[in-house]
């Protein structure tokens, strides 16, 4: 009799427990898209700040010397913003999966991994791109503007890491 009562309680509690588990996995999968965009945005913001500081210093040096201020620095300062766009593209594609709760729960670990990997890859790509940009701004300032094409190519190589991360991780998103 007691055993039947326990079995009955477990049987009644099991659907509630499973629903709570599904809710947790769904939450984790969806939260990873937000973290992805946030991490990429952080990398872009830090990157723009790093390159912007170098540009401000170079402009001050040019102003003191009575030279025209170089517009080329703006290009190098702005380049790290694209990684936020790449993360947003992955996020939008992941959000399409969330319309199907079964796939979302079944692939929650994969989706969480995709979100976190995208965030880290884009954040670090933007950050490293900015370090190259800041060094490039100093080089342009000291080299009287020579070498801009080489600096942009080098920053483009770093950008390629962000593009590869986006493309490869988009390919891992489960089909709905």
Q: Chain-centre distance of CA 51, in angstroms? A: 18
CATH number at residue 58: 1.20.120.610
How far is it, in rounded angstroms, from Cα 11 to Cα 135? 65
- The parent domain of residue 111 ranges over 2-170
Helix (H) or strand (E) holding 67: none
pLDDT, residue 24, reads 85
| CA atoms of 161 and 167, how far apart (whole Å) | 10
CA gyration radius, the chain:
24
pLDDT (tens digit, 9 = 90+) per residue, 164-175?
Answer: 999 999 999 998
pLDDT tens string 114-158:
999 999 999 999 999 999 999 999 999 988 778 999 999 999 999
What per-residue confidence (pLDDT) applies to 9? 59
Would 175 be classed as within a structural domain? no
Q: What is the pLDDT of residue 1?
A: 63
Q: Is the pTM of this model over 0.85?
A: no
Q: What would the DSSP string read from start to end of 88-120?
A: HHHHHHHHHHTT-HHHHHHTHHHHHHHHHHHHH
The torsion of the CA quartet 97, 100, 101, 107, rounded to 10 degrees, works out to -40
Domain count, the chain: 1
Torsion, Cα 31 34 38 44, to 10 degrees, reads 140
């Amino acid at each position: 009799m007691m055993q039947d009562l326990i079995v009955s309680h477990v049987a009644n509690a099991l659907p509630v427990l499973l629903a709570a588990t599904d809710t947790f996995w769904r939450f984790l999968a969806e939260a990873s898209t937000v973290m992805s965009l946030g991490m990429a945005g952080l990398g872009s913001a830090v990157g723009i700040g790093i390159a912007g500081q170098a540009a401000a210093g170079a402009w001050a040096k040019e102003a003191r010397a009575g030279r025209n201020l170089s517009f080329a620095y703006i290009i190098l300062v702005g380049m790290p913003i694209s990684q936020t766009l790449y993360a947003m593209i992955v996020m939008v594609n992941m959000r399409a999966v969330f319309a199907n709760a079964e796939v979302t729960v079944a692939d929650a670990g994969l989706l969480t991994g995709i979100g976190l990997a995208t965030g880290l890859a884009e954040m670090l790509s933007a950050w490293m791109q900015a370090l190259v940009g800041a060094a490039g701004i100093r080089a342009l300032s000291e080299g009287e503007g020579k070498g801009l094409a080489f600096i942009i190519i080098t920053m483009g190589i770093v950008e390629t890491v962000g593009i590869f991360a986006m493309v490869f991780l988009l390919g891992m998103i489960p089909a709905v």
